[in-house]
Amino acid sequence: METSQRDDQQRAAERRRKELLEAADRVVLRDGPGASMNAIAAEAGITKPILYRHFGDKGGLYRALAVRHTDALLAGLRAAVDAPAERRARVENTLDTYLAAIEARPQVYRFLMHPAEESQSPEQGFDVGRHSAPLLRRMGEELAQVIAERVDLGPCGDELARVWGHGIVGMMHAAGDWWLGERPCSREELVRSLADLLWGRLAGADNRVGGPGF
């Protein structure tokens, strides 16, 4: 009986935590990096101390949201890599999956990757940037595992897969961040250009006449 009661309590706590994360998502979609614990508590219909009881502080809430969104993104990236298609098409699909995700929910992306601008209070000044590095490292390690599982890289293949995994994630993040802010081209054009880079176009390109090469 006691075990059953504990299981029921645990399931209830998990449901409540999920509800609170969904409320936090709604506020983040509205307010972006400026989402506050006060606003999230109000959206969930609870007081801020109750929110702290579940997540500790804004850093704890951030980490929970990061896991939630990173899990979904990684599932999409794995599906793109595993889709039946030629390798170039799978590369483009993987890049497009990441860019489509940040384009669809830019406020969530900015909350996860950038601190609030022009912050006035310590809570609003929560340093999101300090927490984004572990998220990117996790993505790099996950992509490295996918590469190692699917591509024969020969001796030292695992090490090379990690280099490529972190390098590709860094490229996607930097290019996607720039693109989301400036929109200098379409998503399709960005995907094609990044795929060209991964496909070795830089190595095969001729140097400009009169200028130094790489």
* Confidence (pLDDT) at 120: 43
Looking up residue 114, the CATH number of its domain turns out to be 1.10.357.10
Return the C-alpha torsion angle 191, 197, 198, 201, nearest 10: 130
Domain enclosing residue 106, as ranges:
58-202
Is 182 part of any domain? yes
Q: Is residue 28 part of a domain?
A: no
pLDDT the model gives residue 11: 86
Look up the pTM and report it: 0.79
Pick from 187, 20, 170, 42: nearest CA to 106? 187
Distance CA 81, CA 86 (A): 10
Predicted pLDDT at 87 = 84
- The per-residue pLDDT for 118 is 38
pLDDT for residue 65:
87
* Domains contained in the chain, number: 1
Q: Is residue 17 part of a domain?
A: no
For residue 142, being part of any structural domain is answered with yes
26 domain-assigned: no
| Domain-embedded: residue 192 | yes
Does 184 fall in a domain? Answer: yes
String of DSSP letters for 112-135: HHSPPTT--STTTT--HHHHHHHH
pLDDT tens over the chain, length 214 residues? 567 777 777 888 888 889 999 999 999 989 888 888 999 999 999 999 988 888 888 888 888 888 888 888 888 988 888 888 888 898 899 999 999 999 999 998 888 888 554 344 444 444 545 557 778 898 899 889 888 888 888 888 899 999 999 999 999 999 999 999 999 999 999 999 999 998 886 566 666 666 554 4
Residue 207: the pLDDT is: 63
- Is 24 within a domain? no
Question: What is the CA 154 to chain-centroid distance, rounded?
Answer: 30
